[in-house]
Structure 1
Amino acid sequence: MLIGTILRAKGSQVTTVRPDATVKELLAKLAEHNIGAVVVSADGASIDGIVSERDVVRRLHDRGAEVLDGPVSEIMTSQVRTCGPNVNVDELRRTMTEHRIRHVPVVDNGRMVGIVSIGDVVKSAIEELETEKASLVDYLHR
């Protein structure tokens, strides 16, 4: 299965936050959308970074509550791994596992077209296994 197939099913909406937004504003977006990470983008289309709940928790531990009033740019990951819609889900799963990342923006022709989480990848694997199982059961009952 290709990443583009996942995006067609889940949609292409990507929640973003500006680099100068406060960490408090970031937390409000995470809560509002019930998500674990957002893409940091000055214009809503380019990728300046990515920031997750884990980033916030780690910085809170390191620096204390004053991090909440600071800009997202101070806690974001600026080296963002991306993939294209034609990447195979198995390949992305290996990349996510190898690099311990849970969210990967999808980029096509230099434009952000979606985001895939580890949950999306696992869900697609389960769906593939269920389809394969149904085919095997059908074959055995012929």
Structure 2
Amino acid sequence: MHVSDLIRTKGADVVTVSPEDDVRTLLAVLAEHHIGATVVVDADGALAGIVSERDIVRAIARRGAAILSDAVSTIMTADVKTCTPQTHLEELSRVMTDGRFRHVPVMVDDRLAGLVSIGDVVKSRITELEVERDSLSSYIRTAST
């Protein structure tokens, strides 16, 4: 299975923020959309970074509540690992596990085309296993009659 299969199922909509937005605005966006991370895009829509709840917690631990009025660019991860729609989910899962991050932007021709979470990958794998189980059960029932 490929990332494109996930995007087709879950959709390509991605909540984004600007590097100039303050952390308080970022928190409001995360809360409003019930998400744990968002992609940071510049005024031209180009990928600038990614920021997660973990980034916020670490920034608050370092600097306290003063971070709330700082720009998102001060706490975001700028060196973002990305994937393409053609990336195999097994490869993506390995990259996410090895890198210890849970969200990967999907890029097509240097443009944001979606966002995949580790939850999306796990859900897809569970669905695959259920289909395999059902197929095997059906085979066994058919073979035993």
- Classify the TM-score, shorter chain: over 0.9
Distance in 2 separating the partners of 1:32 and 1:2: 29
Distance apart, 1:45 and its partner CA: 2.7
Change (3 A) 1:44 1:3: farther
TM-score by length of 1: 0.98
Equivalent positions of 1:18-37 (< 5 A) are: 18-37=18-37
Q: Pairwise mapping of residues 86-105 of structure 1 onto structure 2 (< 5 A)?
A: 86-105=86-105
Which portions of structure 1, spanning 4 or more consecutive aligned residues, are displaced by more than 4 angstroms?
none
Structure of higher CA gyration radius: 2
Q: RMSD over aligned Cα, in angstroms?
A: 0.8
**SS of corresponding position for 2:106:** strand
CA distance in 1 between partners of 2:46 and 2:121 (Å) = 23
Consecutive unaligned residues in structure 2, runs of 5 or more: none
TM-score (norm 2): 0.96
| Structure 1 partner of 2:42 | 42
Question: What corresponds to 2:73 in structure 1?
Answer: 73
Aligned residue number for residue 8 of structure 2 = 8
| Equivalent position of 1:55 in the other structure | 55
Question: Which one-letter code corresponds to 1:15 in the other structure?
Answer: V
Instruction: State how many pairs are aligned.
Output: 142
Unaligned ranges ≥5, structure 1: none
